[in-house]
């Protein structure tokens, strides 16, 4: 049985996915309905009426309340039933689970635990995601048929670039010229690659004259449960990093259930700010990399262990070989386990 970290923020969706009809999405194995209150702020309810279990997302909105489409019970954003069309009395138990939800950085975040414990200070910083002065981003989403921690393994260990991403980012061996380090800062992990004095990889073409080299970096930041920021950058060899470029990316994974993951990604640039062609070129590149390259590999690897996990085993029982380069993923798994264990210990 999958255990999730409860007291943390999960990305429910991009803010612009929550339109007038709201957004129905499975999160942590639960159907969730996210919608907007009259003041524009998001609210989230379990998408299951307590009467005969109709999805509330099929219902109508009445101000800040949601009216079930099946027999008309009306629920406020706190999950309390406000109206029973068949009697004055509101039956005991006529409540639906409500979640704390916040919109920040163009993202709607959902708190996995008791709404009273929701702490907005714990939302990781993705301030680069929305378009802003001198900044423009592209965004995407894909549903991955694998447990979310297998997605974390992939992102925290970018050594796979050389093998999986031959059709997109493959760097002609640059990873092998790199130094990899993993460090922990509080409950934030960093898995960083530093590749000095290398021929420019695909992302850095045009940065230096023919025959010159660059310093290249890939820096991944992880926050529980699986919210990651990747900085991809390069500068002429020996020049300050501010002389080159840095493309911050969001890679945020939210479990739909034990076997499926919502994968949200974005990339922000500081050039070609009005170019829809550049938008499309970036989207095409990322779709190739994530949908056509990462996703089939992660799904196939997960399919190979899934049945064993079902019968009570876990990732470690599969005795995964360690190559050292994978320590970012390993540390993320261990830290998340510790955090989940801490919650279990404290009820």
- The site for ligand FES (CB under 6 A) is made up of 49, 51-52, 54, 68, 70-73
In the complex, the smallest distance separating the C-beta of residue 186 from ligand FES, rounded to whole angstroms, is: 44
In the complex, the smallest distance separating the C-beta of residue 68 from ligand FES, rounded to whole angstroms, is: 3
In the complex, the smallest distance separating the C-beta of residue 287 from Fe ion, rounded to whole angstroms, is: 12
Please say which residue, 68 or 144, places its beta carbon nearer to ligand FES.
Answer: 68
Upstream peptide bond of 225 is cis (omega within 30 degrees of 0): yes
Please say which residue, 52 or 243, places its beta carbon nearer to ligand FES.
Answer: 52
- Rounded to 5°, the CA angle 171-156-193 comes to 45
User: Does residue 153 interact with Fe ion by CB under 5 A?
Assistant: no
Please say which residue, 259 or 294, places its beta carbon nearer to Fe ion.
Answer: 294
Judged by beta carbon distances under 5 to 8 A according to partner kind, the member of ligand FES, Fe ion, none in contact with residue 71 is ligand FES
In the complex, the smallest distance separating the C-beta of residue 77 from Fe ion, rounded to whole angstroms, is: 38
* CB environment 275-313: b (16+ within 10 A), e (fewer): eeeeeeebeebbeebbeebbbebbbeebeebbeebeeee
Please say which residue, 59 or 233, places its beta carbon nearer to ligand FES.
Answer: 59
Please say which residue, 73 or 267, places its beta carbon nearer to ligand FES.
Answer: 73
Please say which residue, 90 or 301, places its beta carbon nearer to ligand FES.
Answer: 90
- Residues 40-79, one symbol each (x = binds Fe ion by CB under 5 A, - = not), give ----------------------------------------
Residue 149 backbone dihedrals phi, psi, to 5 degrees: -70, -20
Whole-angstrom distance, CA of residue 82 vs CA of residue 135: 44
Whole-angstrom distance, CA of residue 102 vs CA of residue 113: 14
Judged by beta carbon distances under 5 to 8 A according to partner kind, the member of ligand FES, Fe ion, none in contact with residue 5 is none
In the complex, the smallest distance separating the C-beta of residue 73 from ligand FES, rounded to whole angstroms, is: 4
In the complex, the smallest distance separating the C-beta of residue 24 from ligand FES, rounded to whole angstroms, is: 15
Taking CB under 5 A as the criterion, which residues in 288-317 touch Fe ion? 294
What count of other Cβ atoms lies within 10 Å of the Cβ of residue 235? 20
Nearest to 308 by CA among 292, 320, 291: 320
Please say which residue, 32 or 170, places its beta carbon nearer to Fe ion.
Answer: 170
Alpha carbon of 7 to those of 101, 163, 232, 338: distances in Å?
Answer: 13, 36, 30, 13
Judged by beta carbon distances under 5 to 8 A according to partner kind, the member of ligand FES, Fe ion, none in contact with residue 294 is Fe ion
Whole-angstrom distance, CA of residue 69 vs CA of residue 104: 31
Whole-angstrom distance, CA of residue 329 vs CA of residue 251: 14
Coil vs helix vs strand at 167:
coil
In the complex, the smallest distance separating the C-beta of residue 147 from Fe ion, rounded to whole angstroms, is: 17
């Amino acid at each position: 049985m999958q255990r999730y970290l409860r007291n943390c923020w999960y990305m429910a969706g991009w803010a612009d996915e929550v339109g007038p009809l709201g957004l129905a999405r499975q999160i942590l194995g639960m159907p969730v309905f996210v919608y907007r209150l009259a003041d524009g702020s998001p609210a989230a309810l379990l998408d299951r009426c307590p009467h005969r279990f109709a999805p509330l997302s099929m219902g109508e909105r009445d101000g800040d309340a949601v009216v079930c489409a099946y027999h008309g019970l009306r629920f406020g954003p706190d999950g309390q039933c406000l109206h029973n069309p068949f009697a004055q009395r509101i039956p005991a138990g006529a409540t639906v689970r409500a979640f704390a939800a916040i919109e920040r950085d163009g993202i709607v975040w959902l708190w996995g635990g008791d709404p009273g414990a929701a702490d907005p200070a714990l939302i990781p910083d993705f301030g680069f995601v929305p378009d802003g002065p001198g900044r423009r981003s592209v965004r995407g989403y894909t549903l991955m048929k694998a447990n979310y921690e297998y997605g974390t393994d992939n992102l925290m260990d970018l050594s796979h670039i050389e093998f999986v991403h031959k059709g997109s980012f493959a760097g002609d061996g640059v990873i092998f010229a790199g130094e990899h380090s993993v460090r922990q800062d509080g409950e934030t992990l960093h898995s960083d690659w530093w590749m000095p004095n290398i021929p420019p990889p695909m992302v850095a073409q045009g940065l230096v004259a023919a025959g010159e080299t660059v310093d290249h970096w890939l820096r991944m930041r992880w926050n529980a449960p699986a919210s990651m920021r990747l900085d991809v950058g390069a500068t002429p060899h020996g020049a300050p990093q501010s002389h080159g470029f840095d493309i911050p990316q969001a890679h945020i994974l939210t479990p739909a259930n034990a076997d499926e993951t919502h994968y949200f990604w974005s990339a922000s640039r500081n050039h070609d700010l009005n170019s829809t062609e550049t938008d499309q070129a970036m989207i095409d590149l990322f779709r190739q990399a994530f949908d056509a390259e990462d996703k089939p590999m992660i799904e196939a690897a997960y399919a190979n262990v899934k049945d064993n996990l079902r019968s009570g085993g876990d990732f470690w029982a599969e005795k995964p070989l360690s190559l050292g380069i994978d320590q970012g993923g390993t540390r993320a798994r261990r830290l998340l386990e510790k955090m989940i264990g801490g919650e279990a210990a404290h009820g």
